[in-house]
Amino acid sequence: MRWLFCTVNPSANLNFGPNISDEVRRRFIIPLWNSYSFFVTYARLDGFDPCATAPVPLAERTLLDRWITARLNQLVATVRNGLDAYDPDGAARAIEGFVVDELSNWYIRRNRRRFWKAEGDRDKAAAYQTLYDCLVALSRLLAPFVPFVAEAIYGNLVRPFDAAATASVHLTDYPESDPATVDEALSSDMGAVLEVVSVGRAARTEAGVKVRQPLAGILVYSRDAAALEAVLRLKDQVLDELNVKEVAPLVDLGEVVSYDIRPNLSVLGPKYGKRLGATRQALAREDPASVAARVDAGQPVELVLEDGSSVTLEPSEILVDLKKRAGYATAQGPTFTVVLDTSLTSALIEEGLARDFVRGVQDARKSAGYRIEDTIEVAYEADPEVVAALAAHEAYVKAETLAVRLERHETVGVSDAVDAEATEGPGGTTGPDGAYCDQITVGRHQVRIALRRQVPSAPRVSA
């Protein structure tokens, strides 16, 4: 598996061992299995039967359904071409990228609520059918690469429902791409969105602002007008994923960032020798924004030295660093530069506290062993700042945690009475009354919580 899913030349000798195989397990097998497990968990709750559910035409499914279906069929074509060209390494890399980056970290993340909701409507059926088709196709694509994992997925998703199914995934025909489902424009547009989200996350990391803290917005800059237009058109995907309130185009990067222009000495030293010093001085006299724009456009930069001679620097010979202005964080990708507004209002801070509280309660639910469909009652003791934030976002907190009741206890200075280190890892206890008690971190506050499971709810469908 290592030589199929890692950055190693398959023609080179490679020792196989537990550390190498564990890397494959961690980086690829676990995301694949988690995607499969996610589907199975909710499909069982809702009694989804792929053969009995009326199919929703692809044209009537959501944008993300159509996108992942297009990408799946593009993947099938890529893998078949790779195997036909005796390039299993390239084929396997394509599968890994699809599973990790597109299916697990994007499609499933963006569609969780469609599976969570209790009502079994047409939209939910489309979500189940789309994810089911992806997983079954992947089991067949992966059969030559990870045969036992592929067999387990196929055996559980196909054989129990389809009496005519073959006895093994290894007896099925290898998948073929359906050109009718491939939307090149949609794939390109969503690729632009994925890059902006990735760069936006990098900007958050650079600023030290966690994703659960809402921010006012981001500014997006790109020299590719079509890609920028696609991001603005699909900005709802960006808003939710980056947890920002607005996405706006940025015409001039100089409005929010400045540039540090430096010569690439490792390249220019051998090239110019004694003239390097004069070249550096000439570059320093140039307008940084103008040089950065030419480098970004892939254009050479002509410099006039003090002796009147001139030199022309290629874009690769100039290093451009973005310098953020106060209140902003910046990150760059191949096509986009994302500028993040890191200023916080009281309303944004309150929403961030509510989101932190939700995460803490969700973790406590798991530690308590509650089922995903169990409804609960929550009691908490917190500082006034946290209590005010939760009161302002009570409906959101209840919906996210399946809480039918929130019981607040406001205590000034409660954070000082709670051991912050005790909030690390599962440390809750179940009391004699059946309540699960724990303490969680909410922003800079420590909060005591008690969860009580209601009478277990009936299955959403009969067995």
**Where residue 275 falls among pLDDT bands split at 50, 70, 90?**
confident
pLDDT of residue 69: 98
In a domain, 462, yes or no: no
With a pLDDT cut of 70, the percent of the chain lying above it is 92
Q: Which tokens go with 7?
A: 């950055």
pLDDT the model gives residue 444? 92
Amino acid at 330: T
Domain encompassing residue 93: 2-182
- What is the DSSP-derived secondary structure letter of residue 196? H
Residue by residue, DSSP assigns 250-292 as: -S-GGGTEEEEEEE-HHHHHHHHGGGHHHHHHHHHHS-HHHHH
Question: Sign of torsion, CA 190 193 199 200?
Answer: negative
**pLDDT for the residue 17:** 65
First to last CA, the chain: 39
Same domain, 263 and 354: no
Residues 202 and 339 in one domain: yes
C-alpha to C-alpha distance for 69 and 72, rounded to whole angstroms: 5
Residues 66 and 168 in one domain: yes
Helix (H) or strand (E) holding 380: strand 376-382
Model pLDDT, residue 339: 93
Q: Specify the range with the lowest mean pLDDT, choosing from 121-125, 150-154, 304-308, 342-346.
A: 304-308
The reply to whether 158 falls in a domain is: yes
Strands 318-324 and 257-263: antiparallel
Query: What tokens were used for 49?
Result: 């039967």
Q: Is the pLDDT of residue 3 over 60?
A: no
Residues 79 and 195 in one domain: no
CATH number assigned to the domain comprising residue 150: 1.10.730.10
What mean pLDDT do residues 112-116 have?
90
Do 297 and 155 fall into the same domain? no
Whether residue 178 is found in the same domain as residue 193: no
pLDDT in the model for residue 417: 64
CA atoms within 13 Å, Cβ hemisphere of 458: 4
159 has a pLDDT exceeding 60: yes
Comparing CA positions, the residue from 159, 181, 191, 146 lying closest to residue 5 is: 146
Rounded to a whole number, what is the largest CA-CA distance in the chain? 88
> Does a structural domain hold residue 460?
no
305-348 pLDDT per residue, tens? 888 888 888 888 899 887 777 788 989 899 999 999 999 999 99
Q: Does residue 461 fall inside a structural domain?
A: no
Both 144 and 286 in one domain: the answer is no
Residue 241 has pLDDT above 80, yes or no: yes
Q: Which residue has the tokens 């994302």?
A: 338
**Amino acid 14: pLDDT:** 59
Q: What's the average model confidence in pLDDT over 49-53? A: 92
Helical H runs in 301-443? Answer: 346-368, 384-392, 394-401, 414-417
Average pLDDT, the chain: 89
Is the separation of the CB atoms in 329 and 206 below 8 Å? Answer: yes
Q: What is the per-residue pLDDT for 4?
A: 46
Residues 297 and 159 occupy one common structural domain = no
Residue type, 83: L
Is the domain of 144 the same as that of 42? Answer: yes
**pLDDT value, residue 2:** 40
Q: What is the pTM of this model?
A: 0.80
Residue 377 pairs in a beta bridge with: 405, 452
Residue 459 lies in a domain: no
Looking at the structure, tell me whether residues 25 and 123 fall in a common domain: yes
**Whether 413 and 293 share a structural domain:** no
Task: Kindly state whether residues 158 and 90 are assigned to the same domain.
Answer: yes
Higher-pLDDT residue of 463, 348: 348
Q: Are 31 and 45 in contact (CB under 8 A)?
A: no
pLDDT above 80 for 282: yes
Could you tell me which residues are beta bridge partners of residue 445? 442
Does any domain span residue 463?
Answer: no
Sign of the Cα torsion 159, 164, 165, 171 reads: positive
Number of domains in the chain: 4
pLDDT at 272: 80
Residue type (1 letter), 205: T
Tokens at 357, concatenated: 């509280």
In a domain, 92, yes or no: yes
